[in-house]
Amino acid sequence: MPERLVIVGGDAAGMSAAAQARRRASADELEIVAFERGEFTSYSACGLPYFVADDDMEAQTLIARSPEEHRERGIDVRLGHDVVAIDLDKRTVTARDLENEEDVTEAFDHLVIATGATPIRPDLPGVDARGVHGIQNLTDGIDLREHLEDHHEHRAVVVGCGYIGLEMAEAMHRRGLKVTIVERDPQPMSTLDPDMGALVAKAIRGMGIELRDSTDVEGFETDAEGHVRAVATSAGMIEADIVVLGIGVKPNSALAEAAGVAIGASGGVVTDQRMATSAEGVWAAGDCVEVFHRITRRPAAIALGTHANKQGRVIGVNVTGGYATFRGVIGTAITKVCDYEVARTGLNEREATRAAFEFVTATIESTTRAGYFPGSSPITVKVLAEQRTGRILGAQVIGREGAAKRIDVMAAAIWNEMTVDEFAQLDLAYAPPFSPVWDPTLIAARAAADKVKR
């Protein structure tokens, strides 16, 4: 009899685990059953804002592997099945067949919990009105774009100015809507330091998008037909034909917690480096788990598809008798709003202070290419370094095309615990079409190294 692997969740983490396990074990050795409550598998949630913005982009282009393709590879994908209970003693899961309104029970030898994240939806009057949209999965993206196509809206309000809020504001702006962003914090993108967030705010407003910071949303007013018509805020009423919620997400760990699986202080499922949970034979991956932060040495909840795919692959190796580990995160992220690119890695000042580091910062302005080369544009780079050792703790980059991917070299340096002095000596590529003779990251590291030495 083959062993049975049951997976809860059919997107990045779950199907990455399934695919890797199938590569390593035949159907005679391992049965794989994957439950997904939606109608799609293995799609790019990160591509949703760009899908919403572009009428010519097909939903299919966001799908890396369809349910049919998974089935052809020997994975029993069951769409429209919402797993409602896990029995660790009986080694079973119970799923609700949403179409037939029936419960089905399946036994498992190994179980993967990949339930993702739950979007934060404020408990405010009118939040369930027609025209108020969340943007968590591909179905949400399709519904939002169809709404825009059918109603020809003119005024959009985006609630929240983190990554998804910025990207959805760009999507609405590209569609020609008048866009207002409402953000409760004093600046957009709280993962940046205030001085860098101020640059993002200036860029947003410079493109004609209205940004109302330090403003709380208090509710959503509707017309006689139940469609949103305005957003009530602490600074007054904002007319709206459509509202997009971009407030953020939290780990969807309720199913695991109800089964008795350990949950961490972050709200995510606790795992070891092999992605094993506190329950024998039960693994977890993706946005529902908490991760080890390599700089603070503390658990954190960071929802990113890059982590989910890596973690799923680790599980696929381990459930088939191999050995693999997920070695943590440092909080690297990147986004854009129209022509402006924004990236960060490691810790910002608030996070470094909370982790009890003594640190210095250096912020420099340079250009993405040699100053005389056509297409050169401004770039701002900020570096945080530990005062005593000079170890790089974090970096932030803002600029136009060609700016933000520079964060990757900073991330590699932080991952390997390099100092700013070591970084300033790196042999980085140079040619006028790509950078000045001193790359902006080198200039920032050198400036931080000078402060460490003082």
Point out the residues that are catalytic: 46
Pairing assessment for the beta strands 228-233 and 117-119 based on DSSP bridges:
unpaired
Residues 418/380, Cβ–Cβ less than 8 Å = no
CA distance 45 to 62: 8
CB 42 within 8 A of CB 65: yes
* Three-class secondary structure of residue 24 per DSSP: helix
Q: Give the position of tokens 């949950």.
A: 263
C-alpha angle with apex 297: 294 to 300, nearest 5 degrees? 80
For residue 397, is it left (φ>0), alpha (ψ between -120 and 50) or beta? beta
Collapsing DSSP states into helix, strand and coil, what is residue 134? coil
What gap in Å lies between CA 324 and CA 326, rounded to an integer?
Answer: 7
Distance set, CA 11 to CA 3, 77, 93, 309, 363 (Å): 22, 11, 18, 9, 39
> Residue 155 — φ and ψ, nearest 5°?
-125, 120
Q: Cα separation of 6 and 90, whole Å?
A: 14
| H helix runs in 344-436, sequence order | 349-354, 407-415, 420-424
Distance linking the first and last C-alpha atoms of the chain: 68
How far apart (Å, rounded) are the C-alpha atoms in residues 29 and 32?
Answer: 10
State the DSSP string of 359-371: EEEEEEEEESS-T
